[in-house]
Amino acid sequence: MATARNAGSTFAPDDDTPVFVISVAAQLAGMHAQTLRQYDRLGLVVPSRTRGGGRRYSNRDIARLREVQRLSQEEGVSLAGIRRILELENEVEVLRAQVGEMHEELGRVRAALGMSGRVFAAGRAGDVVAVRAGERPRRRFSDSRALVLYGNRRA
């Protein structure tokens, strides 16, 4: 019996939701179910498991199966080579996420320190003077024609 709260709700899986049994996943990927079992044993595509041990594949798993098949058939890459390629792709994905987190943290630190938009120039006596981006050092800091370099910043 459906409650009023979820009576109108529908199931909308995302790319990571394991919804396909092995026979459907094999059909969607265009290969035999035994091939999926072999790829699972080799760790190329690791589906989720039900409580009873049955395999369940997500849309992301299906895409990965297709990529394994493409690399094998069209590019002639061995299964060991494909495993290494997939490992490296996963590593790159993790590193990109870490870089993104570090950029966010750097932005927070700069904001907390009041460093956003600041650049540095050489003062009259050779000292370092902080100025805002796009501004020249004020005459009181320097009456020289000091060169101000603005670096490319990525935030």
Which of 107, 136, 105, 139 lies closest to 124 in space, CA to CA? 139
The total number of structural domains in the chain stands at: 2
Lowest-confidence range among 19-33, 43-57, 70-84, 115-129? 115-129
- Does 87 share its domain with 139? no
* SS3 category, 129: strand
Exposure class string for 97-116: b at 16+ Cβ within 10 A, else e: eeeeeeeeeeeeeeeeeeee
Using CA atoms, how far apart are residues 75 and 52, in angstroms rounded to an integer? 37
My answer on whether 124 and 89 are in the same domain is: no
Residue 13 lies in a domain: no
What local confidence, expressed as pLDDT, does residue 113 receive?
A: 76
77 and 121 share a domain?
Answer: no
Domain match, 102 and 47 both? yes
Say yes or no: 154 and 140 in one domain. yes
92 lies in a domain? yes
Note the pLDDT tens digit of each residue in 85-140.
999 999 999 999 999 999 999 888 878 776 655 677 777 677 787 777 666 666 55
- Indicate if 67 and 27 belong to the same structural domain: yes
98 bridge partner residues: none
Residue carrying the six token digits 């044993």: 41
Q: Are residues 69 and 137 in the same domain?
A: no
pLDDT at 110: 78
CB 104 within 8 A of CB 87: no
In a domain, 66, yes or no: yes
Range of the domain at 139: 117-155
Do 59 and 31 share a domain, yes or no? yes
In a domain, 74, yes or no: yes
If asked whether residues 140 and 104 sit together in one domain, one would say no
Q: State how far the Cα of 114 lies from the Cα of 122, in Å rounded to an integer.
A: 20
Q: What is the CATH number of the domain that holds 27?
A: 1.10.1660.10
Alpha carbons 117 and 110: distance in angstroms, whole number: 9
Question: Does residue 145 register a pLDDT over 70?
Answer: no
What pLDDT does residue 117 have?
Answer: 59
